[in-house]
Amino acid sequence: MAQKSHIINRPDNQNFGILVDNIKNGYNAGLLVRSASAYGASYVGWSGKRYTEKGNFENGDTEGFRFKYPIFAGVDNLKPLIPYKSVCVAVELCDSATSIFDFIHPKICTYILGAEDSSLSKEYLDICEHKIFIPTHHSLNLVHCATSIMFHRMQQMLTLKDEVVRCPHCGHNYYSALTDSLYKCNACGGDFPNDKQKIMV
């Protein structure tokens, strides 16, 4: 397990969500909620009712994030869940898909995945501006796939930041800006101006 400071000082990579078309396994749905919450997703949702027939949603969500996290379970259509101006990214192995290693994640986006036993439908492929795949030797479990994407996103958001600074109060790496002119440290909670007081790593 990571030290607490390492968890607190993660990159500010929110403003994204994970949606699954007609997820099959309830246990996978619970694991997806836990993983998405850990990586800072703003919401999780899936269409269809099959998740109630196989596996147990509560068993997968061992930490009870379903009680404190935005979840849209078993909706008829995923499209109304997509926030305004969110860039849709299909996770699908198809001819027009880009390897995740060559992909720049949009800051505000929605990742849409197909179910465990099917490809993403044309209905959702058509609304996706980007299509990506993970070049593995064989197929991944649905949750492993989503988690790999979120990890890659988190890593890239840190790498792509213009600068990384240390909090002048406690010295921790600092990532989140409150406004254009004010920072708030995720570690000690101290505020400081976004100006020459920043100490470069």
The residues, ordered by sequence, that sit 6+ positions from 100 with a Cβ below 8 Å of its Cβ are 132, 133, 134, 135, 148, 149, 152
Beta bridge pairs of residue 47: 75
- For the ranges 5-9, 49-53, 71-75, 170-174, the lowest mean pLDDT is seen at 5-9
Q: Who has greater pLDDT, 7 or 86?
A: 86
For residues 55-87, b (16+ Cβ closer than 10 Å) or e, as one string? bebeebbeeebbeebebebbeeebeebbeeebb
| Res 123 pLDDT > 90 | yes
In the chain, ranges of CATH 3.40.1280.10 domains = 4-159
* Model confidence, pTM: 0.74
Domain 4-159 indexed as CATH 3.40.50.620: no
Which pLDDT score is estimated for 187?
A: 65
**In angstroms, rounded to a whole number, what is the distance separating the alpha carbons of residues 178 and 200?**
19
- For the ranges 24-38, 107-121, 156-170, the lowest mean pLDDT is seen at 156-170
Which pLDDT score is estimated for 4?
A: 39
171-186 pLDDT, tens digit per residue, is 665 545 545 566 666 6
Q: What is the mean pLDDT of residues 72-79?
A: 94
